[in-house]
Amino acid sequence: DAMVIQNPRYQVTQFGKPVTLSCSQTLNHNVMYWYQQKSSQAPKLLFHYYDKDFNNEADTPDNFQSRRPNTSFCFLDIRSPGLGDAAMYLCATSTNWGGSETQYFGPGTRLLVL
Amino acid sequence: GEDVEQSLFLSVREGDSSVINCTYTDSSSTYLYWYKQEPGAGLQLLTYIFSNMDMKQDQRLTVLLNKKDKHLSLRIADTQTGDSAIYFCAELGGSQGNLIFGKGTKLSVKP
């Protein structure tokens, strides 16, 4: 059974057109993460939520926003996608932050910007 | 700063053992992980090791940790074509509590 679900799996958007990626989890985990993974690169953490507390990485562009309306769902909003934002976006969850907490990843959404 | 380095490619023959190496810089890392990523898919946790351990074995997988040299390796015994994927090493950043990934090692298994 899928535990971390991402929709859609593939998303095509136009340059400058806002886009929202979705993640949901059935694990009831406190923490949800969004990573950006560009081709042949390591996944890079954009931000994470601990419950409702939002934590932005220092170098995450302002173009990226996130919402977590409840425990199960988390959204990634890209306000004005540029060509450089084309990447795989990975959602992950963990019970708590840090320590021995294993992160469970979804299958990712591949974003293409035309 | 925190950094994780891996070689980018490894090619082996089916049935041989594969050894994927990783070095990290954060000596305060408590946990180190190996993730597998198949083409077009997300990351799948393979195994992890706590920093006070030297070795962990899980079926065909053996993780070796040399904390003095900050060196981590993943050995896959009897490598199969289904093992072809990108393998990411990651450390749990001691100062930030987040995962720091290497760029991944692409393992190709030839019949």
A67-93 confidence digits (pLDDT tens)? 999 999 999 999 999 999 999 999 999
Cβ contact (<8 Å) for B43 and A105?
A: yes
Cβ contact (<8 Å) for B101 and A99?
A: no
Residue numbers in B near A45 (CB within 8 A): 98-99
Query: Strand ranges (DSSP E) for chain A?
Result: 4-7, 10-13, 19-25, 31-37, 44-50, 53-56, 64-67, 73-78, 87-94, 104-105, 109-113
- For chain A, which residues lie within 8 Å of any Cβ of chain B, measuring from their own Cβ? 4, 6, 40-45, 48, 90, 92, 97-100, 102-108, 110
Question: Which of B26, B52, B99, B101 would you mutate first to test chain A, the one with the most A CBs within 10 A?
Answer: B99
Q: Is the bond into A107 cis (omega within 30 degrees of 0)?
A: no
Radius of gyration of chain B (CA): 13
Question: What tens digit of pLDDT does each residue of B57-81 get?
Answer: 999 999 999 999 999 999 999 999 9
Query: Could you tell me which residues are beta bridge partners of residue B22?
Result: B6, B72
Mean pLDDT along residues A10-25 = 96
Eight-class DSSP state of B103 = -
pLDDT at B30: 78
Query: Could you tell me which residues are beta bridge partners of residue A51?
Result: none
CA distances from B95 to B1, B26, B50, B89 (A): 10, 9, 16, 18
pLDDT at B52 over 70: yes
Indicate left, alpha or beta for A34 from its phi (over 0: left) and psi (-120 to 50: alpha). beta
Contact yes or no for B76/B64 (Cβ under 8 A): no
- For chain B, which residues lie within 8 Å of any Cβ of chain A, measuring from their own Cβ? 4, 8, 30-31, 33, 35, 40-45, 48, 50, 88, 92, 97-99, 101-104
